[in-house]
Amino acid sequence: MTKKISNFAEYFQKYQESVNDPEGFWGEIAEDYQWHKKWDKVLEWSFTGPKAPDVNWFINGKLNITENIFERHLPERKDQIALVWEPNDPKEDVVNYTYGELYEKVCQFANALKGLGIKKGDRVAIYLPMVPELTIAMLACARIGAIHSIVFAGFSANSLSDRIIDAECNLVITSDGGYRGAKSISLKSIVDDALKSCPTVKHTVVLKRTGDDINFVEGRDIWWDDFIAGVDTKNEAEVMDAEDTLFVLYTSGSTGKPKGVLHTTAGYMIFAEYTFKNVFQYNDGDIYWCTADIGWVTGHTYIVYGPLLAGATSVMFEGVPTWPDAGRFWEIVNKHKVNQFYTAPTAIRALIVHGNEFVTKHDLSSLKVLGTVGEPINEEAWRWYHDVVGKGNCPIVDTWWQTETGGILITPLAGITPTKPSFATLPLPGVQPLLVDNEGNELKGNSVEGNLCIKFPWPGMIRTTYGDHDRCYQTYFSTYKGLYFTGDGAKRDEEGYYRIMGRVDDVINVSGHRLGTAEIEDAINQHPKVNESAVIGYPHEIKGQGIYAYVTCEALSADEADSIENDIRATVNKIIGPIAKPDKIQIVSGLPKTRSGKIMRRILRKIGEGDATNLGDISTLLDPGVVDEIVTGAKVEVKR
């Protein structure tokens, strides 16, 4: 077994090794896995050639990722708990799965999938709440080589069908409903709605979770329990090529519809486990908890694949941080004696508001490491997390990464890298970041700020966008030739530490969830009374960024004018889902545009930030008058 990095000097040494000899570095780590056949060459790649991006790790290696979770660990860990499931309602029982039990469940479900005719390469959509069956379903797909496409169960029917259609899924795995705090959501009816426009889907498997009545479609729908009844719990894993697809996960960008970010088998596997063990400094016997939803990449890599590949005990939580009260996270930490805790800045900020007592009344002495991910963490939230939750004893790992990166790229190593509030600090071994100016010139040295790029492949990186390789190239590899462009701006300070400043493209980050402004505008524009809209992010105390929509409408009656804001929110809710509902909507008579018709978002952003004093040159606008109107009617206090 490759040893974890255990001190700062060793980090620098490993980092150098990984840059000087990437193939030697990753090749040695890859020796720890079960392979049906070892690779011929560790890496071949091009970010610029005709097939770019063309990235191949562990060429001709053959393996199955689930054998590396189960068969590799079972001799030692059969009776160790793999998954601890904490239900939404604290009165309901916890469910634990040992490695041995989870293995049988995964194999059984894998056999059932095969029985339905699902085979290697088929796409399976999974639309489930945070129940253990979600983990079972995804691993069962990986077992047989089917490609899982997990869709966060907060997305609308329309978003779900877009994703199903794009990936041409032939099966959907869902449940009657799901619980989130005091609410329950009828997932099956959303699936029914989505499937009206998805001809490729032949079946749905439906888990009973809430017991709500569903519309059961004979011939298409199958209850989960019937699906697995009597099915064998032994399964021989499909032998996959290192570069065979493991999963797709849809994410938003600055243009067009969400794209299916595609990850492959061996590189993702090795990167998930390596980053998990080193960043969190997980030790055998520790209890690790990541509060994300498996519908996002954080859940994929740091609830399921990373921890289970490492033979860890991973906690999975169905509920929300504020129900039954704002102490729920800390009650769970105490109940399961959690050692490593990984959450998002938005959750921290939401809990700060409720006061310290919800934290201090629980015994949190088991905690060793605290992690954050998803968006920049402000200094106040960092300090509260450090002082109140961690009692000053737990290092905070501020982990920067993306759906496309598969795993963490820039982060402290817990207890090893000296931290600074709101700095993601240093790149992990194997990760070669650089900053460039808008012309693509590298900004060398320290104390510089620019666009964050990566110049060398790492094993967990995106390989393509599903069904449209050129889109992958255009989105990530064409802005700065020869580099992967992250879409983020960053500073490198006088010590060489990275601080992520946020997106530099038309992507906003709401509560750690990525949304394209164009996508929200498209949804708003579907309201019959809307002519045009422009969406920007503005600073929001809890969500990090809030959604601010400037909208022009057709003539409205008095009644319509009263209800238009709510109607627009309902439209967005229906088309994308509740996470994309604008926080502020301002109906305006016109949008600030250049003479060529381009919306000047820079101006709208300034106004949204409450800083209308310095709007820059507005004389080139088609109609400078609209700016005054917008400033006067702005939904924030505007300093002039």
> What are the structure tokens assigned to 54, written together?
């063309």
User: With CB under 6 A as the contact rule, which of the stretches 124-132, 439-447, 507-515, 630-638 interacts with ligand WT7?
Assistant: 507-515
Q: Which of residues 227-286 bind ligand WT7 (CB under 6 A)?
A: 251
User: With CB under 6 A as the contact rule, which of the stretches 304-312, 358-366, 374-382, 470-478 interacts with ligand WT7?
Assistant: 374-382
Shortest spacing between CB 528 and ligand WT7, in angstroms: 31
Shortest spacing between CB 215 and ligand WT7, in angstroms: 33
Q: Residues 84-123 vs ligand WT7: string with x where CB under 6 A? A: ----------------------------------------
Counting contacts by CB under 6 A, is residue 221 touching ligand WT7? no
Paired sense of beta strands 203-207 and 221-223, if any:
parallel
User: With CB under 6 A as the contact rule, which of the stretches 393-401, 413-421, 522-530, 552-560 interacts with ligand WT7?
Assistant: 393-401
Q: Which of residues 293-352 bind ligand WT7 (CB under 6 A)?
A: 297-298
- Looking at 68, 88, 313, 486, which residue binds ligand WT7 (CB under 6 A)? 486
User: With CB under 6 A as the contact rule, which of the stretches 50-58, 107-115, 440-448, 496-504 interacts with ligand WT7?
Assistant: 496-504
Counting contacts by CB under 6 A, is residue 519 touching ligand WT7? no
Counting contacts by CB under 6 A, is residue 402 touching ligand WT7? yes
Q: Which is nearer to ligand WT7, 326 or 381 (CB)?
A: 381
Element (H, E) at 192: helix 187-195
- Looking at 488, 505, 506, 521, which residue binds ligand WT7 (CB under 6 A)? 488
Shortest spacing between CB 341 and ligand WT7, in angstroms: 15
Q: Which is nearer to ligand WT7, 315 or 344 (CB)?
A: 344
Please provide the DSSP assignment of 618-629 as one string.
-TTBS-THHHHH
Q: How far apart are CA 39 and CA 29, in angstroms?
A: 13
Residues 6+ apart with CB under 8 A from 66: 106, 139, 142, 143, 237
- Looking at 424, 426, 483, 547, which residue binds ligand WT7 (CB under 6 A)? 424
Residues 6+ apart with CB under 8 A from 192: 215, 217
Radius of gyration of the chain (CA): 24
Counting contacts by CB under 6 A, is residue 156 touching ligand WT7? no
- Looking at 113, 352, 373, 591, which residue binds ligand WT7 (CB under 6 A)? 373
Q: Which is nearer to ligand WT7, 221 or 488 (CB)?
A: 488
Long-range contacts: 465-472, Cβ < 8 Å, 24+? 465/259, 465/260, 465/261, 465/262, 466/166, 466/167, 466/248, 466/259, 466/260, 466/261, 466/262, 467/166, 467/167, 467/260, 468/259, 469/51, 471/256, 471/259, 472/53, 472/259
Q: Which of 130, 114, 147, 405 is nearest to 291 (CA)?
A: 130
- Looking at 105, 148, 259, 503, which residue binds ligand WT7 (CB under 6 A)? 503
- Give the other-Cβ count within 10 Å of 481's Cβ: 10
Counting contacts by CB under 6 A, is residue 398 touching ligand WT7? yes
CA angle 328, 364, 90 (to 5 degrees): 25
Counting contacts by CB under 6 A, is residue 612 touching ligand WT7? no
Q: Which is nearer to ligand WT7, 322 or 509 (CB)?
A: 509
Counting contacts by CB under 6 A, is residue 509 touching ligand WT7? yes
Counting contacts by CB under 6 A, is residue 375 touching ligand WT7? yes
Shortest spacing between CB 604 and ligand WT7, in angstroms: 20
Counting contacts by CB under 6 A, is residue 401 touching ligand WT7? yes
Alpha helices in 21-156 (DSSP H): 22-30, 65-69, 74-77, 99-115, 132-144
Counting contacts by CB under 6 A, is residue 163 touching ligand WT7? no
Element (H, E) at 352: helix 345-352
Q: Which amino acid is located at 582 in the chain? A: P
Shortest spacing between CB 556 and ligand WT7, in angstroms: 36
Cis peptide before 324, with omega less than 30 degrees from 0? Answer: yes
Please provide the DSSP assignment of 383-439 as one string.
HHIIIIISTT-S-EEEEB--GGGSS--B-PPTTTSPP-TT--BSBPTT--EEEE-TT
- Number of residues written out for the chain: 640
- Number of residues interacting with ligand WT7: please give it, by CB under 6 A: 23
Q: How far apart are CA 427 and CA 497, in angstroms?
A: 9
List interacting residues with ligand WT7 (CB under 6 A): 251, 297-298, 373-376, 398-403, 424, 486-488, 500, 502-503, 509, 512, 514
